[in-house]
Amino acid sequence: MTKVNTFIILMLFTAYGYSQNIELTSQLFETYDTYKEQTLSTRRIKHADIQPLLDNFKTKSTFKISKVGNSIMGRDLHLVSIGSGETQVFLWSQMHGDEPTATQAIFDILNFFNSSNFATEKKEILSKLTIHFLPMLNPDGAELYQRRNVLGVDINRDALRLQSPESQTLKRVRDSLEADFGFNLHDQSTYYNAERTTKPATISYLAPAYNYEKEINDTRGDAMRIIVYMNTIIQNYAPGQVGRYNDDFEPRAFGDNIQKWGTSTILIESGGYPADTEKQEIRKLNYVSILSAIYTIAKGNYKEIPLGDYEKIPENDRKLFDLKIVNATYNLFGKNYTIDLGINQIEVDYENHQDFWYSSRIIDQGDLSTYFGYETFDATGYKIKQAKIYPKIFNSPSELINLKASELVKDGYAYIRVNSIPKNVLNSDIPLHLIGENYSVPELELKPGINPTFFLEKDGILKYGVINGFLIDLDSDNIEINNTMIYR
């Protein structure tokens, strides 16, 4: 942390009356790698991945591991508890199976509590709080890397009917603990941005309403104050990258109901961060901010925070693209038009749900001046040109091993014909789309929904390519993208 940033955050903390927390927060950030659970490093973690970790904590006398339920498919749901304090803090994660960032952070936090470091701070926390973690509420959804459980139910909309055993478990645990504070941990789309800014909503918060009138009682007010505190921390590491969800009451949602049932509920959503596909930087921010929040709950100094500061956090917006191209010249029916393109690099899971590939799409086009991009390219003076098909025909993908694909791309080729493409081959690892012997590449007609593949020409020279939604500098010595498509 720089001296300037340290000064700024110290001034903010002093204004709220909790300057004593700054040293812990900065140390948590600086020592994070010591506690990071190295066996969890990608988003597609499964129930089986966390079982050895839970088994390890069962051997530690300071932790209590309890089986509290089962998923529809019979996978165990566990609660990890630590501390002896009267105040009950309950954290649950991954009620949506494809939202695992905080699950990983929970195991980082458990490693922190299992260490011999920060003895004074941990004593203060654990003597005043009892902390409970339910790290993977929807393991069946995690297995398939899907939002819903195998009943097809969104668990976060099952708080009233309680049809799913996972929902029943969450309600039963909350009630049995009579939790004072609850952390509802999620992931959100990486395409959210902080309102009216170019910055992604890396972390978004909500103190859910408990009625349609959005009234603020002590329970909800405490949640708002803790969110303001966490926002102050995140601003030091991801300035301007925090959003706030709309607080319209949703009577079926767990967060709204848990707030209604008397638990101060803090919703945390992990969004996007530049060049952080697997959300490991965001995981670190979860670790630091959640532990810091737990510490301020133990100390009680969150009560000094003005409620009005909650409304100062910018609202979430959804105006980000992976790639935004502006001011390109597009010729249609003999007439030139100026056009912006918003492109998203969409993930497609492999059958085993352990990894993914990209099938990109144009999401919007026209005047996108109110939208933003993780990557933005100003194409003023560039003409959009159709990609060509390489004239040589190959019999199988194996014949492409020695192909100088980068050189072909520089010459404006983006398609290569292969007569026999095995059915189990889902995409290509060279920067050229593979097309079958009978596939006809259509004339380029830009519209939302198509795969973005074309070139950008300036002064009669091809300068850039867009292949499967990835921007390529044709002057680069090494042209690589994650993957291209197969059209049979």
pLDDT digits over 404-450, tens only?
999 999 999 999 999 999 999 999 999 999 999 999 999 999 999 99
The whole-number pLDDT of residue 22 equals: 74
Region 99-104: mean pLDDT is 98
The whole-number pLDDT of residue 336 equals: 98
Domains and CATH numbers, the chain: 3-317 (3.40.630.10), 320-487 (2.30.40.10)
Percent of the chain predicted with pLDDT > 70? 96
- pLDDT tier, 12 (very low <50, low <70, confident <90, very high otherwise): low
- pLDDT tier, 478 (very low <50, low <70, confident <90, very high otherwise): confident
The whole-number pLDDT of residue 4 equals: 45
Region 166-178: mean pLDDT is 98
Nearest to 225 by CA among 293, 285, 284, 286: 293
The whole-number pLDDT of residue 8 equals: 47
Facing residues of 129 across strands?
A: 87
Alpha helices in 346-446 (DSSP H): 405-410
Contact 448, 364 (CB under 8 A): yes
Q: What is the DSSP string of 46-77?
A: -HHHHHHHHHHHHT-TT-EEEEEEE-TT--EE
Contact 324, 471 (CB under 8 A): no
Q: Which two tokens stand for residue 410?
A: 């520089």
Strands 76-83 and 129-134: antiparallel
Reduce the DSSP state of residue 456 to 3 states and report it.
strand
Nearest to 131 by CA among 286, 284, 262, 297: 297
Region 114-119: mean pLDDT is 96
The whole-number pLDDT of residue 284 equals: 98
Checking if the pLDDT of 10 tops 90, the result is: no
Nearest-angstrom CA–CA distance, 310 and 229: 9
Contact 458, 381 (CB under 8 A): yes
pLDDT tens per residue, range 299-321: 999 999 999 999 999 999 999 99
Q: Which two tokens stand for residue 116?
A: 């011999």
Region 364-389: mean pLDDT is 98
Nearest to 132 by CA among 173, 71, 94: 173
Number of Cβ atoms within 10 Å of the Cβ of 259? 27
Nearest-angstrom CA–CA distance, 383 and 402: 32
Rg (CA), the chain: 25
Checking if the pLDDT of 23 tops 70, the result is: yes
Query: In this structure, what are the phi and psi dihedrals at residue 49, rounded to the nearest 5 degrees?
Result: -70, -30
- pLDDT tier, 249 (very low <50, low <70, confident <90, very high otherwise): very high
CA dihedral 169, 171, 177, 183 (to 10 degrees): 100
Region 88-98: mean pLDDT is 98
Q: What is the DSSP string of 165-225?
A: HHHHHHHHHHHHHT-SEEEEEEE--TT-EETTSSSB-SEEEE---SSTT----HHHHHHHH
The whole-number pLDDT of residue 21 equals: 73
Place of tokens 């590449």: 441
Checking if the pLDDT of 361 tops 90, the result is: yes
Checking if the pLDDT of 172 tops 60, the result is: yes
Number of Cβ atoms within 10 Å of the Cβ of 54? 18
Percent of the chain predicted with pLDDT > 90? 94
Region 3-17: mean pLDDT is 51
Number of Cβ atoms within 10 Å of the Cβ of 8? 16
Nearest-angstrom CA–CA distance, 469 and 452: 5
Nearest-angstrom CA–CA distance, 129 and 384: 61
Contact 292, 24 (CB under 8 A): yes
Nearest-angstrom CA–CA distance, 485 and 428: 6
Number of Cβ atoms within 10 Å of the Cβ of 68? 16
Q: Which residues of 444-467 are buried (b: 16+ CB within 10 A; e: fewer)?
A: bebeeeebbbbbbbeeeebbbbbb
Contacts of 8 (CB under 8 A, 6+ apart): 236
Checking if the pLDDT of 43 tops 90, the result is: yes
The whole-number pLDDT of residue 14 equals: 52
Mean pLDDT of the chain: 95
Reduce the DSSP state of residue 7 to 3 states and report it.
helix
- pLDDT tier, 45 (very low <50, low <70, confident <90, very high otherwise): very high
pTM: 0.94
